[in-house]
Structure 1
Amino acid sequence: MKTKMQLNHSQNKFSNKKFPVSLVLDHISGEANIGSIFRLSDAFHVEEIIFCGIEPNLSSNRLKKTSRSTHEYVNFQFSENSSTIIKQKKAEGYKIIALEITQNSIPLPQLQLKHSEKVVLVAGHENFGISEEVLNLCDHIVHIPMFGNNSSMNVAQAIGISLYEITKCLIP
């Protein structure tokens, strides 16, 4: 019986496609979450992460361990104000998508995007979510359908699921 050998980084057959996707993180503060989001951003080759309201502590050992060094080369910036960034990205032609469960959010799989569309995915604070002001600026509000008793999931996991769904839409 042949054994299945795990491939290392240089042996994988993944394409090096960059997606026109940026992340806006509205007051996300958990260092493990931020490290995971850096790693996910690398995996889905997003354009950039924009931290808003709370600047990440890049010297945190927890962030460094979770990011597996991706924080050293994934593009990112910091802005005090999420609304300003959202307005700027809208003016640049980006579709703004908030990841939040609201009364009028749609299930993520129902989101329809064009292959050439530029996207900003907005995610909010671990306990408080996305501010009402920012939600009101978004083109779409999506949620991940869940089937258990809990009404939320970890922000980094939710971003990973969302990036997977969004990038599937953007691949021609």
Structure 2
Amino acid sequence: MSTQLSHKEHGTPVQRFPIILLADNLMGDANIGSLFRLADAFNIEKIVFCGSPVNLNSNRLKRTARATVDNVSNEFWEDPEEALANYIELGYTPIALEITEDSKPLDKVHFKNEKKIVLVVGNERHGIAPALLEKIPLKVHITMFGRNSSMNVSQAAGIAFYEISKTLPSLAEK
């Protein structure tokens, strides 16, 4: 019989990934809480919330995030374009997670040449704002096989973190 391991028993080595998640105008406390859990699970650098302020005291957010709100660095920028420009200036490669006419399937893109990534996700209803999307040359999407053309933002971010972390140089070298 298999026994479930505790957090301390699982033995996975701690590794920080050079990824910043930039969230453009997210509204749902459950989605935001899920992003904290994912950011902690993949040990990314931070989450940057833009547009609508995030209520870190929301009970729904706290229940979903569990204790990860305390572990994950985060900040707020009112203007997402300004935030993106800041991280580009700091050497981050911007990548938009959005289905567009020129987006590439995420599982076909390899990030071996990227040192630092800022992954941009959009609002639950409207996606990434057009003016922000226009500033990001590389757009990726998750190949889907059903009839719907989109998925929940936190689920999509989790898939993106997994696919990106598999091909980043820091993981590939191990």
Q: Where on the TM-score scale, by shorter chain, does this alignment land: which range?
A: over 0.9
Stretches of structure 1 that go unaligned for 5 or more consecutive residues are none
Q: Distance in 1 between matches of 2:10 and 2:119?
A: 27
- What residue in structure 2 maps to residue 61 of structure 1? 59
For each residue in 1:31-90, what CA deviation from the matched residue of structure 2 results, as whole angstroms up to 9, or x when unmatched?
000000000000000000000001111111110000011112210000001101111111
TM-score calculated relative to the size of structure 1: 0.96
Q: Distance in 2 between matches of 1:168 and 1:141?
A: 18
Q: Distance in 1 between matches of 2:102 and 2:21?
A: 22
- What residue in structure 2 maps to residue 129 of structure 1? 127
Percentage identity across paired residues of the two chains? 46
| CA-CA distance at 1:115 after TM superposition | 5.8
Q: Distance in 2 between matches of 1:116 and 1:37?
A: 22
- RMSD over aligned Cα atoms: 1.0
Alignment equivalent of 1:11, drawn from 4, 9, 12:
9
Q: Distance in 1 between matches of 2:12 and 2:113?
A: 19
- What residue in structure 2 maps to residue 164 of structure 1? 162
Q: Distance in 2 between matches of 1:141 and 1:148?
A: 21
Alignment equivalent of 2:138, drawn from 114, 118, 140:
140
Whether contact under 8 Å (1:22, 1:119) holds in the other structure is yes
Q: Aligned AA for 2:61?
A: L
Alignment map for 1:38-57 (pairs within 5 Å): 38-57=36-55
Pick closer, same or farther for the CA change 1:115–1:99 going to 2, 3 Å: same
Q: Aligned AA for 1:154?
A: N
- What residue in structure 1 maps to residue 21 of structure 2? 23
Whether contact under 8 Å (1:95, 1:139) holds in the other structure is no
Q: How many pairs does the alignment contain? A: 170
| CA-CA distance at 1:139 after TM superposition | 3.0
TM-score calculated relative to the size of structure 2: 0.95
Q: Distance in 2 between matches of 1:29 and 1:16?
A: 31
**Residue range with higher mean Cα deviation, 112-121 or 14-23:** 112-121
Alignment map for 1:70-89 (pairs within 5 Å): 70-89=68-87
For the residue of structure 1 that corresponds to 2:44, the secondary structure is coil
- What residue in structure 1 maps to residue 149 of structure 2? 151
